[in-house]
Structure 1
Amino acid sequence: MQKNELISISNEMCKELSLLINQEEEGNKEKVANFLLESAQIIMNLKEEKINEEGFTQSLFSNAYKDIATQSLSSYADTNEKIQKLTRLHEKTLSECHEQHIDLPSLTSKFDEIQTHMSDEVKKANEIITELISKVKTLEEKSNLDSLTKIYNRRALSTYLNKVCSNKKLSYEFHLLMLDIDDFKTVNDRYGHVTGDKVLIFIANILRQTLREGDKVFRYGGEEFIIILNRIDNEHCRLIIDRLLYLIRKNKLIYKKDSLGITTSIGVANYKNGDTPDSLIARADKALYKAKSNGKNQMFGI
């Protein structure tokens, strides 16, 4: 890795860390420490060829969804303040009605003015909401990286499989693995969704660190990941899967002094000529269901 590339990565990390600290009302050592630990893991697992991809360095530590959420909260606070002002004006008008004889034309005029302001603010709020929804949609359409785990997302998976499956004479073997975190709902219910996010990052980091250079990892959705093992036969595929299951089971996620034991189940589908992305994923999904039914923490399919 070139020195200038390391400088660029360090600058991005420091920028995001500064934003994180500034968002807190008071100093929060735990959040800073967690950010630095996660950043160190990201850098250690970084594959050099990714750095040249457009926007990749900027996406390592940033979260565009978080930026949109911040913008949403700021807009909400502004609208809320204006609504409160109108409410106070409304109360003042009613109070004046009790203190003097009612001047109906004047009262009607004031209420019409309040109603007009209220309608204008609601209209502006709706316009901002529409704009933010559009930004989220555009972000999802353009991004190939999952914002949480920093691995490829479902859109990237679709592009990759369409390209591979369109090759009618593929000259090498590959296997598609569908990995699902066992009892993930229980983790969310017991420890909260923040811990659930930590588990997803934990799994993504193990996958990145363990797999070979030419393999691909995608977040398929929720607690599911899809892994593409390229140029590999059944025997070696099984060895890699056994190692993944072992490493995930052996390593413990430490979060707020709790040691969380995580296991996963894996369904495997070997690519066959004529497969479509849908047929390949469907076979892996069916195999995953079998692995779950057989007791979890295991693989099924080969």
Structure 2
Amino acid sequence: MQKNELISVSNEMCKKLLSIIDQEEVATKEKVADYLFESAQIIMNIKEEEVSEKGFAKTLFLDAYKEIATQSLSSYASSNVKIQELTKLHEETLSKCQAQHIDLPALTSKFDEIQTLMSYEVQKANEIITELTSKVKQLEEKSNLDSLTKIYNRRALSTYLNKICSNKELPYNFHLLMLDIDDFKVINDKYGHIAGDKVLIFVSNILKKTLREGDKVFRYGGEEFIIVLNRIDDKHCKLITNRLLELIRNNKLIYKNDNLSITMSAGVTNFIRGDTPNSLIARADKALYQAKKNGKNQMHGIK
């Protein structure tokens, strides 16, 4: 990265950090440290060619801020539930005292005061939750990265395919791969959703590390991924696709002392002049369906 690019990224990081501290009711050292660590990791993972893309640095830190905002949201939601439970308990206690005709005006007055304070805290927490929810939604709409896997998301895929499909003088051919993790529901059912998330991260890392710099990998949704292989013929596309499936198949993910065996199926198609993003994805999806039907853990190509 050039010096001016590093300055841009650093400035964006500082702006987001100051914004977090300013908006937090209580900004702890731990939250600041977590943010800085996350930012450092993101910076280290930035590819040189991506830095030049307009707004990419801002997108990275919007995504990091989204994670912190989500954590805050969860914290406030938990506090809200506890406060509501306490308020209900005090209401029941006060009602019981009144029903038994216990003349305790001081106690009643104190309970009323506690209830008022707690009601205020509930209202305040709800307002913060609403505000954070809105901000998280806005950040998700602006972000081009999937928050879990840190690869491009479906929004980025749409933008990218629209751009290259609309270029009537595209000087090169490309192929589109749609990959799906085989029996992903079985993994979730047997080991839980945390294990499922780890599988998605595991697969994403293999795809990112294996592909060339000019290729793009996107999380399409759920356990589905889309890869765009640029400047490649049918023969080499087949070799790369089978190589990816082999790496997924041969690398084991260890989760709670268990070796999780993971396989993927792939549907492959090449770009045809006049293709739209929808027609391109539809052919790849049809090919993926055939790969699954043929027994999974394999690729199928459709032109």
Q: TM-score, normalised by structure 1?
A: 0.75
CA–CA separation in structure 2 for the residues paired with 1:235 and 1:84? 64
CA–CA separation in structure 2 for the residues paired with 1:246 and 1:80? 48
CA–CA separation in structure 2 for the residues paired with 1:236 and 1:195? 33
CA–CA separation in structure 2 for the residues paired with 1:206 and 1:81? 42
Provide closer, same or farther for how the CA distance between residues 132 and 237 of structure 1 changes in structure 2, counting only shifts above 3 A.
Answer: same
Instruction: Provide the residue aligned with 1:158 in structure 2.
Output: 158
> When the two structures are aligned, how many residues end up with a matched partner?
275
Provide closer, same or farther for how the CA distance between residues 81 and 262 of structure 1 changes in structure 2, counting only shifts above 3 A.
Answer: closer
1:153 Cα offset (Å): 0.6
Residue pair 2:59, 2:144 contacting (<8 A) in 1 also: no
Q: In structure 1, what residue type is equivalent to 2:254?
A: I
1:166 Cα offset (Å): 1.1
1:59 Cα offset (Å): 3.8
Q: In structure 1, what residue type is equivalent to 2:134?
A: S
Instruction: Provide the residue aligned with 1:247 in structure 2.
Output: 247
Residue pair 1:90, 1:114 contacting (<8 A) in 2 also: no
Instruction: Provide the residue aligned with 2:72 in structure 1.
Output: 71
Instruction: Provide the residue aligned with 2:22 in structure 1.
Output: none
Secondary structure in structure 1 of the residue aligned to 2:279: helix
1:171 Cα offset (Å): 2.2
Secondary structure in structure 2 of the residue aligned to 1:296: coil
Instruction: Provide the residue aligned with 2:219 in structure 1.
Output: 219
Asked if 1:96 is matched to 2:105, the reply is no
1:274 Cα offset (Å): 1.1
Secondary structure in structure 2 of the residue aligned to 1:148: coil
Residue pair 2:199, 2:253 contacting (<8 A) in 1 also: yes
Secondary structure in structure 2 of the residue aligned to 1:195: helix
Residue pair 2:66, 2:140 contacting (<8 A) in 1 also: no
CA–CA separation in structure 2 for the residues paired with 1:94 and 1:219? 54
1:248 Cα offset (Å): 1.2
Instruction: Provide the residue aligned with 2:186 in structure 1.
Output: 186
Superposed CA deviations along residues 103-124 of structure 1, whole A, max 9, x for unmatched, are 9xxx9x9999999888766655
1:287 Cα offset (Å): 0.5
Provide closer, same or farther for how the CA distance between residues 248 and 57 of structure 1 changes in structure 2, counting only shifts above 3 A.
Answer: farther
1:189 Cα offset (Å): 1.0
Secondary structure in structure 2 of the residue aligned to 1:167: coil
Q: In structure 2, what residue type is equivalent to 1:241?
A: T
Superposed CA deviations along residues 152-195 of structure 1, whole A, max 9, x for unmatched, are 11110000011111112322111110011111111111111111
Unaligned runs of 5+ in 1: 24-34
Instruction: Provide the residue aligned with 2:235 in structure 1.
Output: 235
Provide closer, same or farther for how the CA distance between residues 258 and 58 of structure 1 changes in structure 2, counting only shifts above 3 A.
Answer: farther
- The root-mean-square deviation of aligned C-alpha atoms, in Å, is 3.8
Instruction: Provide the residue aligned with 2:23 in structure 1.
Output: none
Superposed CA deviations along residues 126-159 of structure 1, whole A, max 9, x for unmatched, are 5444323322221111111111111111110000
Provide closer, same or farther for how the CA distance between residues 257 and 118 of structure 1 changes in structure 2, counting only shifts above 3 A.
Answer: closer
Q: In structure 2, what residue type is equivalent to 1:256?
A: K
Provide closer, same or farther for how the CA distance between residues 101 and 185 of structure 1 changes in structure 2, counting only shifts above 3 A.
Answer: same
1:244 Cα offset (Å): 0.9
Superposed CA deviations along residues 23-64 of structure 1, whole A, max 9, x for unmatched, are 9xxxxxxxxxxx9xxx69x95x7522334565649948x744
Q: TM-score, normalised by structure 2?
A: 0.75
Unaligned runs of 5+ in 2: 18-28
CA–CA separation in structure 1 for the residues paired with 2:254 and 2:2? 33
Superposed CA deviations along residues 206-236 of structure 1, whole A, max 9, x for unmatched, are 1111111111111101111100011111111
Instruction: Provide the residue aligned with 2:207 in structure 1.
Output: 207
CA–CA separation in structure 2 for the residues paired with 1:209 and 1:46? 13
Q: In structure 1, what residue type is equivalent to 2:238?
A: R
Residue pair 2:144, 2:152 contacting (<8 A) in 1 also: yes
Residue pair 1:154, 1:220 contacting (<8 A) in 2 also: yes
Residue pair 1:176, 1:270 contacting (<8 A) in 2 also: yes
Asked if 1:135 is matched to 2:131, the reply is no
Residue pair 2:268, 2:284 contacting (<8 A) in 1 also: yes
Asked if 1:87 is matched to 2:88, the reply is yes
